[in-house]
Amino acid sequence: MSFKIYPITETELNYDGYEIKVNGVKVQPDTARVSAMPFNRRWPGHQRSADQTELINFLSLETDEALTFEIKPKESFENVIIRPLSLGIEPEITDDGRIIFTMEKASYFTVEPYGRHNALHIFADPVCDYDICKDDENVLYFGKGEHDVGMIHLKSNQTLFIDEGAVVYACVRAVDADNIKILGRGILDNSRNKAQILYEENAENNTVAINNAVRLHTVQLEYCNNIKIEGITMRDSLVYNIRPVGCKDVDISNVKIIGCWRYNSDGIDMHNCINVNIDNCFIRTFDDSICIKGFDCYYAEDVEKAVREAMYRNGKSYDIFKNVSIKNCVIWNDWGKCLEIGAETRAEEIYDIEFDSCDVIHVTGSALDCMNVDYADVHDVVYRNINVEYDDVIPTPLIQNSNAHKYENVNLNFSPNLIEVDVSFHPEYSAGGERRGKNRNILFENIRLFGRHQPKLSFTGYSSENCVSDITVKELYLNNVLMKEQELKIHKNEFCKNLKILP
């Protein structure tokens, strides 16, 4: 039985919000910048200002034993919540302001003495022996310290290994590669990745995204097979953290995503992949958390041509997305949607999708969402054993119209949809496409909402042909009390067929 605190490499970020002891040993946390408010803006060629963000601490370690934490926040507080609630961790607050609790097994969670703000994030990994040879010609090894790499191109049979205490400033790319791995317990940091501005645009009152910038995702994998990403922490992505496109046999586990505050900083967004497993990850993003998408070529000059080139390539078809398992993940979302299919759905079919045993600990947008704005036939989808935690006051997501526009949460009773299923036309993401899809055979089972807000559900189709149908909500709870259909706030239109609310 053992535990180990990962070494810290000092960077330009430094927040000292907590004194921490683990089993009586004083330890040092790391720092990340996160969004402080749900204030988004259509892309006008600039980035968010620092006054919309805050610094937080996170502690990274591994363990195969129960651990006792003693945490002293530097600022005064009255109460503390440890999320996800499903862990059942009951903290004790001492007379001198220390928070004491026991973590029974390796877990990812937050300690929140100030509500949503300045939370302490604990990333306790299971013990793992990677058995990596640093000198292997197919291993790209990075040890403790800072490494300013810029771009890493992975080829077939290569492993990128980021060891404990390493901070690697880089983007990672792989195209037409097989048997690639990204492993380790260090940090892949994207903070030095900046947008390339192509031309100036008016920053006032933009209503749709404009293509005046080139922005690179942190990890982009295109048409690759047999991918494993395990253990790393990803910090401060410019756009998406992990973006597999047309990939097969993808395994992502024990990944921690933190420090997402820039526009469109999504978590794991996947496009027309086959056989995806995402297990035991902690994902805190500004924009959408985990998304299953078709191709998203709405930004191309000729959208239909771009979609054809993406779907039918080198004699192979990439026109479906199937067989996905997402389980045991903890989600904190600061602006967008949490567990999502869409919005872009340029695929012939998207099916055999399962979200299971996940905890959504903070939201501002829909928690469980299927938004079909293109033409996919989305079917055989399951959301099962999902816990969603609502703050008493959920900050209302707003669009910033100008530099002078400041965020103000004017609706203290705002709550988003818990469940949303729709087929619709989107003025931007549909890119003028005339084909619409359908959503069918979708099950929501054992969904548990916690907090003071009533659950809201929305089911809307586009037409009698492009509808949402055979939707089942089975066992929906509010604070562990089983809800009856008449107690739910349900919005639906005439193109929702065969909706069942079952106790």
User: For the chain, which residues make up each domain, given as ranges?
Assistant: 3-126, 288-399+416-502
Sequence-separated (6 or more) residues with CB below 8 Å from residue 247: 221, 222, 223, 224, 225, 227, 270, 273, 274, 276
pLDDT band with cut points at 50, 70 and 90 for residue 207 = confident
Residue 137: pLDDT over 90: yes
Report the run of H or E that residue 309 belongs to, with start and end.
Answer: helix 303-311
To the nearest whole number, what is the mean pLDDT of the chain? Answer: 96
**Strands 398-399 and 92-93: what pairing?**
unpaired
Q: What percent of the chain has pLDDT over 90?
A: 91
Tokens for 274?
A: 């086959």
The pair of three-digit structure tokens given for residue 430, joined into one six-digit string: 């549909």
Instruction: For residue 328, name the pLDDT band (cuts at 50, 70, 90).
Output: very high
Helix (H) or strand (E) holding 310: helix 303-311
pLDDT average, residue stretch 310-328 = 97
The amino acid occupying position 415 is S
Residue 377, token pair as written in the block: 């036939």
How much is the pLDDT for 402?
87
**Residue 74 CB: number of other CB atoms within 10 A?**
12
Which phi and psi angles does 278 have, rounded to 5°? Answer: -120, 120
Q: With bands split at pLDDT 50, 70 and 90, how would you rate the model's confidence at 277?
A: very high
User: Quick one: pLDDT at residue 15?
Assistant: 95
Per residue in 232-250, pLDDT (tens digit) is 999 999 999 999 999 999 9
- pLDDT above 70 covers a percentage of the chain that reads 100
Q: In which band, very low, low, confident or very high, does the pLDDT at 219 lie, cut at 50, 70 and 90?
A: very high
Question: In which band, very low, low, confident or very high, does the pLDDT at 289 lie, cut at 50, 70 and 90?
Answer: very high
- For 32-43, the pLDDT digits (tens) are 999 999 999 987
Q: Give the containing element (helix H, strand E) for 36.
A: none
Residue 407 has a pLDDT of 97
Q: pLDDT tens digit string along 145-177?
A: 999 999 999 999 999 999 999 999 999 999 999
The model's pLDDT over 56-94, given as tens digits with 9 standing for 90+, comes to 999 999 999 999 999 999 999 999 999 999 999 999 999
Residue spans of alpha helices (H) in 188-342: 303-311
Give the pLDDT confidence score for residue 200 in this predicted structure. Answer: 81
Q: Residues near 465 by Cβ (< 8 Å), separated by ≥ 6?
A: 436, 438
Assigned CATH topology for domain 3-126:
Dex49a from penicillium minioluteum complex, domain 1 (2.60.350)
Distance CA 239, CA 221 (A): 14
Residue 4 to residue 381: CA distance in whole angstroms:
39
What pLDDT shows up at residue 122? 98
Confidence of residue 213 (pLDDT cuts 50, 70, 90): confident
What element of type H or E holds 240?
Answer: none
State the average pLDDT over residues 89-112: 98
Q: 256-258 and 233-235: which strand pairing?
A: parallel
pLDDT at 228 over 80: yes
- 125-147 core/surface letters (b: 16 or more CB in 10 A; e: else): beeeeeeeeeeeeeebbbeeeeb
Among 144, 141, 140, 190, which Cα is nearest to 165's? 144
Q: Given phi > 0 = left and psi -120 to 50 = alpha, else beta, which region is 212? A: alpha
CB neighbour list of residue 416: distance below 8 Å, 6 or more residues apart: 363, 364, 365, 366, 367, 394, 456
At 258 the pLDDT is: 98
| 15-18-22 Cα angle (round to 5) | 125
Nearest to 13 by CA among 35, 37, 36, 29: 29
pLDDT surpasses 90 at 1: no
Residue range 430-446: mean pLDDT, rounded: 96
397 preceded by a cis bond (ω within 30 of 0): no
Which of 44-53, 245-254, 316-325, 414-423 shows the lowest mean pLDDT across its residues? 44-53
Token match 């509500």: residue? 115
Q: What is the pLDDT of residue 158?
A: 98
CA distance 245 to 248: 9
Indicate if the pLDDT at residue 406 is higher than 90.
Answer: yes
